[in-house]
Every structure is written in structure tokens, then in C-alpha cells.
Amino acid sequence: MKLRFCCALLLTLLATGVQAGPATLPATAASSSSPPSTCAAPAAASSIDKKASAVFKPVQPTDVETEAAQLSARFLTRFHYDAKPLDDAMSQKIFNDYLKALDGSKLFFTQADVDKFAPLKTKLDDAIWNRDLSGPFAMFNLYVKRALDRFEYARGLLKQHFDFTTDATFDLDRKNAPWPKDAQALDALWKKRVMNDWLRLKLTGKKPADIRKVLDRRYKGYIDRIHQLDGQDAFQLFMDTVARTTDPHTDYFGPRRAENFAIAMRLSLEGIGAVLQEDNDYTQIRELVPGGPASDSGQIHVGDRIVGVAQGKDGCMMDVIGWRLDDVVDKIRGKKGTVVRLEIIPAKAGLDGKHTVVTLTREKVTIKEQAAKKKIIKVTEGGKTHLIGVIDLPSFYEDFAARSAGDPDYKSATRDVAKLLKELKQKGVDGIIVDLRNNGGGSLSEAVNLTGLFIDKGPVVQVRQSDGSVEVDADTDPGMVWAGPLAVMVNRGTASASEIFTSALKDYGRGIVIGEPTFGKGTVQNLVNLDRFGSHPGKKPTYGELKMTIAKFFRINGGSTQLRGVKPDIGFPKNGDDKDFGEDTYDNALPWTHIAPAKYRKVADLESLVPVLEKKHQQRVAKSPAWKLLLDELAVYRKNRARTEVSLNADKREAQRKHFEALQKSFNARHKAIDGSTDSIQVQLDDGLQPDERSLKNQIKDEKEAENAHDVMLDETAHIVADEVDLIHAKPKLASEVLPYGGKQTPGFGLPALKVASDAGGAASSH
């Protein structure tokens, strides 16, 4: 079976049951209370007293990695949709992109460093074909050395006094800046960087001693984390560059990333059911998955720190203080039914508290937070009340392995949405919103099947191979799960499979598209397991996987979402991210093209309805304090985002801070007057800290506030759907135009009701 993906933004770093929390950098190891390890463990990179770069051990490629690179090149040059030879011209592209991947902000390499590697510009093709990756690894090793030197230099600067009365500025965006000429130019640049870090903390009222402590710990944490980089990191980064030079969505997955991608698609894994994050040198419990082994044990709590991991009931306890998060994850994950023991410091005990050992049996854990969810919005306007159902779908997930194995209960976005739609129908909703904001895609078959929940049957997407042949993927199951008024919410983060679903409904006239223009990814990827082709002797290695673009998808009207995305019927204000985010921001994106339309007929005609709904929308938001507040916050956000430099003058920065503080107070007061909340999501005062430097309690609090914040755009979309319901009820003739198939399958709108297949299990069970 072909496993085809349309994923631009789907990958998530997943850990022992759900996912890893915000990536942080370990600092000094600090637990004298930890008992000695009963078995050998890799030494943690911490408490480095001598010059950091002097103790760095350069990494080298393995035979497996050089063969994996050659295998990947063979596939890319023969089977990629837009296959190009791996020659000197491609080598130059790889070289330039690899430099950007290593040092895109030009903070570590000097012009002399870049010149040193200039001979590699036309030799990286030969390096891959000849299985000699010493050149790109040498670039990686020099990057690590330079990064270690820079952060040691930054630590040294903390001993001096800074002058914040000058008119100096610090560049926030250096991607187009020239390479620093020499070490002295880098020194000047890094002094400004440290000054900016210091000034951010100073403006919050922190004293010099506290600022020095925070920044020294931060820079030392960077040094420790850099020392944890290994050859796998070097190879992954280089292969990322090689793959993405062909197009933005071709990727190389090393063994870890391949497993994480599979977890993201099936929304399950075998582990303990915990979200982990780094907390200095510790691995901390960030969240527990309800129903998972960790939660059910009653012995593990949010904030606990894991300091040891042991396998089985009597395996040796391995000290994991100072380990990389993904290494700890590897030790905790395991097969269902096996035992893992965790040595933890309870959150309430403090770092010097008594350690406890918890024994857990690994189980299959479902990642429910990434699955489809539902809710109901009650819209009351003009004396009428309507219930509008909302389906929030984060991705088009599908458990391919379970499906291939014939598991009748395999995890599927379509199955979950069908179930939620039935539940919403039982609640008597009048309309449905499918919220695809920030849904980066996933399984192509899920996009087709999900479309089938809202149409009777017919073509959904056209897929053109590199040889020009075109396949039409269609929904072949009769009946609809939902036949009533429908809207699809989209934004710039709506990509790929989401765009297939959205454009199909738009072409059929089945639903109204509301929001921002979408991402614009119109390509299809296929997974190639390189283990099937590796020939390394001895113990079988893991070569990884290649997620390669093998086709383009086209709308059934013959157009393409590539570069152009899907244009909404009713547009909402943009936040400004489209300048740096979207298919058209990639230099090597495939071009827009079109083909002949598929054979299909519209199921409804929304052309007369959309202008009426647009007019009602504009009239409503013109009088809406919440909408006006949203526009004002977005304007501030766009202005902040457009900044490319900041002043290093304390008085100027203090004035700016006071201005933003006044804005924040004003926005908070307006929020409170509108909906009782007191937090402005778009405008926040800078606290000078990085995410890992804030307390876990505050991190979780901020995330919950953001999650529970009043969603003005979703509410307005619900009002638009309610407007449609009112218009249909008021004009039965309109129902025959805008509801699918003349409204004959839509009970409750004044037309004869035919049997809806989902009520009898037909379409719903077959999707």
C-alpha cells in the first residue's frame, strides 16, 4: 500500500507518551543528593571549567551514514518529482543552504571561515557519491568549536560594565547581513548581543548580580548542550540540507525522527504517558496523559524530576542527570507490557529532597490532545438562538501500520470526525465549522475520506506523477455524515492535506471557506525505508527514511494550491506572518501549474449566498468592540514583528517599555469590559527570560490562559454560519441552491429528508 503524505507542518518532537515540552538547554549539574549510579552511564556535559572548545571531540561520519547519504542521492536523482542531477550546480546549492543551516544568523563563522570551506562548493556532490562526508563534518565541527568559543566569550563579558547611554543598536535579523570579517568583528557583534540580553533583564528591575547569574547560567547551558551534539546530529543536519535543496518538503529522517513521525501519524506509542521537558540538567514531568501508566500510578506528578532510569524489575539504575532529553526518552520508551523503573525527585521535595523509585508497566498510550475534538457555540442574535458545532482537527492522522494489519479499530482522523459529527447531530446543532487553522496536513487518504463525510460521492483530488500521468482519488461511498450548513476555518498554517479538503469543498460548493489565504503546499510525499536497500555487512544498521516529493496534487477544477493556497470566501485580517511563512517564501518551491479538471458536478451553488454573508459580517464586526480590539492587537503584533533592530540605549528602551505597558493595560481593560478576561494575548511585556528560565507553574499557567482565551475569529465564524441558517430558513428556495443536492438530504430545512447514510452506519463505518 502506498503511504502518501501531504504534510508541511506536521512533525512534532514526541517523547514518552505524548511529546517533549519546550526545548531547553541544560546548565550545571546540581544534585549532591543523588545516589551513585549502579551501572555505567555516559558522563553528562556540565561544569566545564576550562575553555569549552578545547575539550570538544570532533565527530566523524560512520559507514552507515555515508551509505545512507548515497542511497538518498540515488532516490532523489531518479524518483523525485522534479529530479535533478547531483552535480556541481546542486553542490553549490547544498553548500549555501548548509551554511545557512549551521549559522543562518551569521553569529559564529567569520568570512575567513567561509572562505576556508569555499573549495567544497563544487565537491559536495562528489563527497556524497564517493561516500566521503569528511568535508561537511569538518564544517559542522568548526561550527561547534566557534559556538563554544562564542558562548565562553559571552560569559567573560558578564564581568564588565556596559554603557547603555549610547545610540548603538542590535540587529535582530541578520540573515542578509555580511559575514563578520574576523574575530574582532564577531567580538563587537557578541558584545551587542550580550548587552541586549542584559538590558532586557535590567528593564524588568533585576539587579546586576541577579542579571549576571541568569545570563551566566544561560550561556553555560548553551555550552553544555552544544557538548551533547554528536555525529548523528551532524549527519541529520547535513542530510536535511541535501533533501530540502530539492524542494522544501523532502526530508531525511534519521532513526529517531522516523519514529517520531510515525507516532505523530498514528497518535499513539508504547510508553508511560508523560510529557517531558528539560529543566537545567534534569528531565522534568511537564504533563501526564490521563489513563496512562504514569498518571494511573498516583506516584508521579507534574514537576517531578527524573534522575534515573532502569529496565525491568531488577535492572541497574542509570543516572540520567545532564542527559539530552531524547536520550532519556529512548530509555523510558519500550514495548507494551515491559517494566521501567524511574528514580525521581518529587516536585514538592526540592532538589535536595528524598528520592523515590516508581515501577511502571509500559502500555499503549493514545495522544488525545492531538486528536479531533468538538464543542458547541451558542449564537444568540435577533432573538434567535442557534447551536453551531465546531470540529477542531489538528492534523490528518492515520495509523498506517494498524490499517495495513487489518485492525478494524485503527486510528483515523476521518473515523474520529465522523463520530464527533454524529454526537453533534444528536445535540441538535444547526451548522458545523471544521477548524483547520494551523493544521499542517498528514495523510492524503484521510483528506479524501474526510471530504466524503460532507459529499455523497465523487472525485476529491487529482494526483499527477512526474511522468505526467494523473490519478483521481475519489470518495466512492454514498451518503453524507453531515449534510447541513458547513464552514471551514483556515489560516496561513493550513497546509497540504488541509488544502486538499478545503479546496474540494470549495469546488463542490459544499462549504464556505473563512479566514486567511492558506499555506500553498501542493505536493505529495512518499516514505522510502532505506533499510530495505542498505548493504552494510554484519549487524543490520538503521539507515533511516527518506520522505520524498513524488507527485503534485491538483484541485478537481484543474487548479493547484501550490504557491497560491486556497483563497477564503470571507477573509479575516492577517497577522503578518505571511511574509516569512508559506510556500511562496521558499526559494526552491515547485512552480504553480494547472491541468484539466476532473469530471465532477457542483453539489450546491454558494455564489449568491457569500456576498450576503460577507455584508452581514462586515456590518456586525463594524459594531463589535471585540473585533476592534482584535484589529488593534494585531496591528501592534505586526509592528513588533516587523522590527529588525533594537536600541541599546536604556532610556529609549525604557520609553518603549512604558509605551507597551500602557498599551497592555489598555488592552487588558478592554478585554475585561468585553468578556471578563484580563490578559492580552497579542501584547505582552518582555520579561527578559527564555521559556526554560520560567517556572513550570508559570509556563503551564500561560499556556492555559492562551488556550482558554476568547477566540474572536471562531465566534464570528459561528455567527456567519448562524446567518446562513437564518437565510435558509427564511427562503426555502435558497436552501435548494446552497445546501448539497438541493437540500434533499438535509433534514430540518423545510425540504423532504432522505436517509442520511451515517445514521445507519453506512458512510461513517466505511470511512
Tell me the C-alpha distance between 373 and 230, whole Å: 39
Q: Pairing state of beta strands 17-20 and 274-279?
A: parallel
* Other CB atoms within 10 A of residue 227 CB: 20
**Helices in 267-356 by DSSP H: which ranges?**
293-297, 325-332
In angstroms, the first-to-last Cα distance of the chain is 17
With both helix axes pointing from N to C terminus, report the angle between 134-157 and 208-227 in degrees, rounded to the nearest 10: 160
Q: In whole angstroms, what is the distance from residue 332 CA to residue 337 CA?
A: 13
In one-letter notation, the amino acid at residue 88 is D
Cell numbers at residue 550, please? 513524488
Beta bridge partners of 218: none
Q: CA geometry: angle at 262 spanning 259 and 266, to 5°?
A: 140
Is residue 336 within 8 A of residue 363, CB to CB? The reply is: yes
- Comparing CA positions, the residue from 228, 217, 330 lying closest to residue 269 is 330
- What number of CA atoms fall less than 13 Å from residue 224's CA on the CB side? 29
Beta strand 470-475 with 486-490: parallel, antiparallel or unpaired?
unpaired
Do residues 552 and 464 make contact, with C-beta atoms less than 8 angstroms apart? yes
Under 8 Å CB-to-CB from 732, ≥6 apart: which residues? 749, 750, 751
Instruction: Give me the residue label for grid cell 477544477.
Output: 557
Whether the CB-CB separation of 272 and 292 falls below 8 Å is answered with yes
Between CA 349 and CA 408 the distance in angstroms is 46
Say which DSSP state 409 is in. Answer: T
As a three-state string, the secondary structure of 380-401 is EECCEEEEEEEEECCCECECHH
Count CB atoms within 10 A of the CB of residue 723. Answer: 23
Residue 598 zone, left/alpha/beta (φ > 0; ψ -120 to 50; rest): beta
The DSSP bridge partners found for residue 513 are: 488
Paired sense of beta strands 645-647 and 523-529, if any: unpaired
Q: Name 6's bridge partners.
A: 442
**CA quadruple 381, 382, 383, 386: dihedral positive or negative?**
negative
Q: Are 660 and 652 in contact (CB under 8 A)?
A: no
CA distance 506 to 528: 33
Catalytic amino acids? 496, 507, 521
Q: Which residues pair with 253 in a beta bridge?
A: 545
User: CA–CA separation, 230 vs 117, rounded Å?
Assistant: 21
C-alpha to C-alpha distance for 663 and 671, rounded to whole angstroms? 12
Grid coordinates in use for 732? 426555502
Reduced DSSP (H G I as helix, E B as strand, rest coil) percent helix, strand, coil of the chain, to 5: 40, 15, 40
Instruction: Give the number of other Cβ atoms within 10 Å of residue 424's Cβ.
Output: 21
Query: Do 561 and 476 touch, CB atoms closer than 8 A?
Result: no
Query: For residue 421, which of 374, 377, 465 has the smallest C-alpha distance?
Result: 374
Region of 614 (left: φ > 0; alpha: ψ -120 to 50; beta: rest) is: alpha
Cell of residue 574, nine digits: 492577517
Q: For cell 497577522, name the residue.
A: 575
Instruction: For residue 231, give the 3-state DSSP assignment.
Output: helix
Residue linked to cell 551532524: 234
